[in-house]
């Protein structure tokens, strides 16, 4: 019983092994951050090709960081050595102190994964989700440990972005939240607690309407994609233009968050049709080779 496990993870000092479920855009980056901070990391996805792709992206990214003197070559090698790519979920979570779920944002997919985690993860482990849109309370109640479950939301690219949102579900205990905050700090990140489990949490609640308004401006013929991006970059001083950022976040991810906000919060969040058109065409952003810009 996870609630009474005598060796339960109660502080960051109890954490040495982290399982990251999902080796995609966010998962591989989270695994990389954990490995750089000295944790043993299991990187898991559903087939060899996906796990291998995630592992290769970590290798590429560590190489880039070393090339830019953000880390040494030795640190890059040591971090990569700490990452074990696996397909077998039981092997991935069997010795985990923390399980980080980064699988696709579909409730049924997450439910299946959670059932498997329960079957194979030690009772002592904390369980966190990197969801950017689904309810933490609802997800937590799909697990056998809602008290020791919360949101741990990273930003793309995890290795460069400092923020981690730590989101409380209705059942998350203070011990869980403060342990996850301490873990974020150990990863070199700045945690910010989100007290209320609401659509988009805080960052996406602010960011996604910006991306949507940019799309409406193009849709309404006010300016081109490049012109809107110039305004966000040179007028607001953001590091990327709105469309560059949408491409990096994933247009499908942005649309998914927006649809949820629209459903829960009302008409102000009506998604611009341009977003759905891109997604329907398979142009999801950098990860698919094209979005509002081409990357091939
Ligand atoms: N690992 C290592 N290097 C990487 C990398 C990664 N994952 N991703 C990009 N780089 C490299 C690039 O290849 C580039 O290298 P070259 O110069 O050799 O081509 C280099 O980093 C660029 O970095 P710089 O420091 O030179 O450039 P920068 O100062 O613009 O920093 C950035 C890059 C940190 C990504 C910056 O542009 C930035 O902060 N962008 C905004 C990102 C952002 O807002 N993310 C949040 C999105 S919201 C989200 O993710 C959550 C959600 O739920 C939707």
CATH T-level assignment (fold) for domain 203-288:
1.10.1040
Query: ipTM value of the model?
Result: 0.95
Question: Is residue 162 in contact with ligand 1, taking CB distance under 6 Å?
Answer: no
- Closest residue by Cα to atom 53, ligand 1, is 132
Q: What is the pLDDT of residues 185-203, one digit of tens each?
A: 999 999 999 999 999 999 9
Q: What is the per-residue DSSP string for 85-146?
A: EES-HHHHHTT-SEEEE---S-HHHHHHHHHHHHHHS-TT-EEEE--SSS-HHHHHTTSS-G
Residue 187's contacts (CB-CB under 8 Å, 6 or more residues apart) are: 33, 34, 37, 164
Q: What is the pLDDT of residues 3-34, one digit of tens each?
A: 677 789 999 999 999 999 999 999 999 999 99
Q: What is the pLDDT of residues 77-129, one digit of tens each?
A: 999 999 999 999 999 999 999 999 999 988 899 999 999 999 999 999 999 99
2-194 and 203-288 share one fold:
no
Q: What is the pLDDT of residues 131-187, one digit of tens each?
A: 998 999 999 999 999 999 999 999 999 999 999 999 999 999 999 999 999 999 999
- Closest residue by Cα to atom 37, ligand 1, is 239
Question: pTM here?
Answer: 0.94
Q: What is the CATH number of domain 2-194?
A: 3.40.50.720
Question: Is residue 17 in contact with ligand 1, taking CB distance under 6 Å?
Answer: no
pLDDT at 224 over 90: yes
Q: Residue 296: what pLDDT?
A: 85
Which residues are known to be catalytic?
Answer: 132, 153, 165, 204
Question: Is residue 245 in contact with ligand 1, taking CB distance under 6 Å?
Answer: yes
pLDDT at 35 over 70: yes
Q: Is 290 helix (H, G, I), strand (E, B) or coil?
A: strand
Q: Residue 3: what pLDDT?
A: 67
Residue 131's contacts (CB-CB under 8 Å, 6 or more residues apart) are: 101, 105, 110, 139, 151, 153
Question: Is residue 235 in contact with ligand 1, taking CB distance under 6 Å?
Answer: no
Where are the chain's structural domains? 2-194, 203-288
What's the CA-to-centroid distance between 180 and ligand 1, angstroms? 24
What's the CA-to-centroid distance between 266 and ligand 1, angstroms? 32
What's the CA-to-centroid distance between 25 and ligand 1, angstroms? 13
Mean pLDDT, the chain, integer: 96
Question: Is residue 168 in contact with ligand 1, taking CB distance under 6 Å?
Answer: no
- Closest residue by Cα to atom 20, ligand 1, is 64
Question: Is residue 84 in contact with ligand 1, taking CB distance under 6 Å?
Answer: no
What's the CA-to-centroid distance between 219 and ligand 1, angstroms? 27
Q: In a mutational test of the pocket of ligand 1, which residue from 157, 286, 287 has the highest number of ligand atoms less than 8 Å from its CB? A: 157
What's the CA-to-centroid distance between 160 and ligand 1, angstroms? 6
Cross-sheet strand order for the sheet of 83-86: 83-86, 40-44, 17-21, 98-101, 126-129, 149-153, 163-167, 190-194
- Closest residue by Cα to atom 12, ligand 1, is 64
């Amino acid at each position: 019983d996870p609630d009474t496990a005598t060796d339960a993870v109660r502080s960051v000092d109890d954490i040495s092994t982290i399982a990251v479920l999902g080796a995609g855009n966010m998962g591989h980056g989270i695994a990389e951050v954990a490995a750089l901070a000295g944790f043993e990391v299991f990187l898991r996805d559903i087939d060899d090709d996906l796990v291998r792709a995630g592992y290769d992206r970590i290798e590429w990214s560590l190489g880039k960081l070393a090339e830019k003197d953000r880390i040494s070559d030795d640190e890059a090698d040591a971090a990569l050595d700490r990452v074990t790519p696996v397909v077998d979920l039981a092997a991935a979570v069997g010795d985990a102190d923390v399980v980080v779920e980064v699988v696709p944002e579909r409730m049924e997919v997450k439910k299946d994964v959670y059932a498997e985690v329960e079957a194979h993860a030690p009772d002592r482990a904390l369980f966190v989700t990197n969801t950017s849109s689904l309810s933490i309370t609802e997800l937590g109640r799909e697990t056998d440990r809602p008290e020791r479950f919360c949101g741990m939301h990273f930003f793309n690219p995890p290795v460069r972005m400092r923020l981690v949102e730590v989101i409380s579900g209705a059942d998350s205990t203070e011990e869980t939240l403060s342990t996850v905050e301490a873990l974020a700090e150990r990863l070199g990140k700045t945690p910010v607690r989100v007290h209320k489990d609401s659509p988009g949490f805080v960052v996406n609640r602010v960011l996604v309407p910006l991306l949507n308004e940019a799309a409406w401006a193009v849709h309404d013929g006010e300016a081109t994609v490049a012109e809107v991006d110039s305004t966000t970059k040179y007028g607001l001083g953001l590091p990327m233009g709105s469309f560059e950022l949408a491409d990096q976040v994933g247009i499908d991810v942005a649309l998914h968050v927006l649809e949820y906000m629209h459903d829960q919060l009302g008409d102000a969040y009506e998604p611009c049709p341009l977003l759905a058109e891109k997604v329907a065409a398979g142009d999801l952003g950098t990860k698919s080779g094209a979005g509002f810009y081409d990357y091939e």
